[in-house]
């Protein structure tokens, strides 16, 4: 790595950690930064998951005792999250590099659009469902786990959306369950990628503390920051990155 690469990755880690704490979508910042340093797409995807993992731990730690208790009450959902994450991780590692180069831009653009409609998704959560639908919840969590195992962009937003549609619970409880399942999915990724994936450990060791610090700083400013403006900036950036990755894959 050049000194410029080091500065780019540390700054991206700080920003990604802060963005995850305030509005979500940190992977849309970190992943393109890794690719910009010349890292192959698959290696960038697995290194991103490992490097940003501390931020997900911090998210759960910041929920508070009651919220953590409520999320742990839904521990059976963690089994479905692990199953989905294992499938998604296996698909990423087994897919030919050329396929991943084509799929990732689609996921980046899709995640950017989901992030763009986050307010409407949150509004939908406010109404809740009339009753819990166990089969729908299970299938939804497995599906999101597969997505998260392959790519983590806007994972929390997508989880919050599907849980809100399938689960009858206040948004505070849904958010706590989202945080727990998000940590389960990414932790499964970290285990699988550590054993079988092309993780760039030097980069992960460099970025992880920066993302954790960014998450702490972002968490402290979350109440004062304009999440709408930040989200719009990340969405525009994510769409631009998705188009850049698409052109890069096709050229």
Q: How far apart are CA 242 and CA 56, in angstroms?
A: 24
Residue 9 has pLDDT above 90, yes or no: yes
Out of 28-32, 46-50, 95-99, 200-204, pick the least confident.
95-99
Residue 85 or 97, more confident: 85
What pLDDT does 129 receive?
Answer: 46
Q: Output the pLDDT for position 217.
A: 79
Angstrom CA distances, 3 to 6, 7, 9, 202, stand at: 5, 6, 10, 14
Per-residue confidence (pLDDT) for residue 161, from 0 to 100: 74
Write the pLDDT tens digit of every residue in 207-242. 999 988 887 777 666 556 666 776 777 788 778 888
- Say yes or no to pLDDT of 71 above 70: no
Average pLDDT over residues 87-113: 87
With contact defined as beta carbons under 8 Å apart, do 9 and 203 qualify?
Answer: yes
How far lies 30's CA from each of 40, 45, 152, 172, 231, in Å? 14, 9, 11, 28, 15
> In the predicted model, is pLDDT for residue 192 greater than 50?
yes
SS3 167: coil
- Indicate the domain borders of the chain: 3-250
Please give the pLDDT value at position 134.
74
Residue 133 has pLDDT above 70, yes or no: no
> Quick check: 222 and 21 in contact, CB under 8 A?
yes
Of 52-56, 62-66, 96-100, the range with the lowest mean pLDDT is 62-66
Question: What average pLDDT score do residues 119-143 get?
Answer: 68
> Cα 172 to chain center, whole Å?
19
């Amino acid at each position: 790595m050049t000194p410029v690469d080091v500065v780019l990755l540390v700054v991206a880690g700080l920003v990604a950690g802060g963005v995850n704490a305030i509005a979500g979508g940190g992977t849309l910042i970190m992943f393109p930064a890794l690719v910009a340093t010349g890292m192959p797409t698959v290696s960038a995807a697995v290194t991103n998951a490992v490097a940003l993992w501390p931020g997900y731990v911090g998210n759960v730690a910041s929920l508070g005792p009651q919220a953590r208790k409520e999320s742990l009450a839904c521990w059976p959902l963690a089994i479905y999250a692990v199953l989905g994450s294992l499938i998604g991780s296996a698909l990423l590692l087994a897919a030919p590099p050329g396929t991943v180069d084509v799929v990732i831009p689609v996921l980046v653009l899709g995640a950017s659009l989901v992030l763009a409609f986050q307010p409407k998704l949150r509004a939908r959560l406010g109404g809740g469902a009339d009753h819990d639908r166990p089969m729908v919840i299970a299938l939804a969590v497995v599906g999101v786990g597969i997505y998260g195992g392959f790519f983590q962009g806007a994972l929390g937003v997508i989880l919050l959306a599907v849980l809100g549609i399938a689960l009858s619970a206040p948004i505070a409880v849904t958010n706590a369950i989202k945080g727990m399942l998000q940590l389960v999915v990414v932790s499964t990724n970290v285990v699988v990628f550590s054993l079988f994936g092309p993780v760039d450990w030097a980069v992960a060791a460099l970025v992880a503390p920066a993302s954790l610090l960014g998450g702490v700083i972002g968490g402290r400013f979350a109440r004062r920051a304009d999440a709408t403006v930040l989200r719009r900036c990340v969405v525009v950036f994510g769409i631009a990155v998705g188009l850049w990755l698409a052109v890069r894959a096709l050229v």
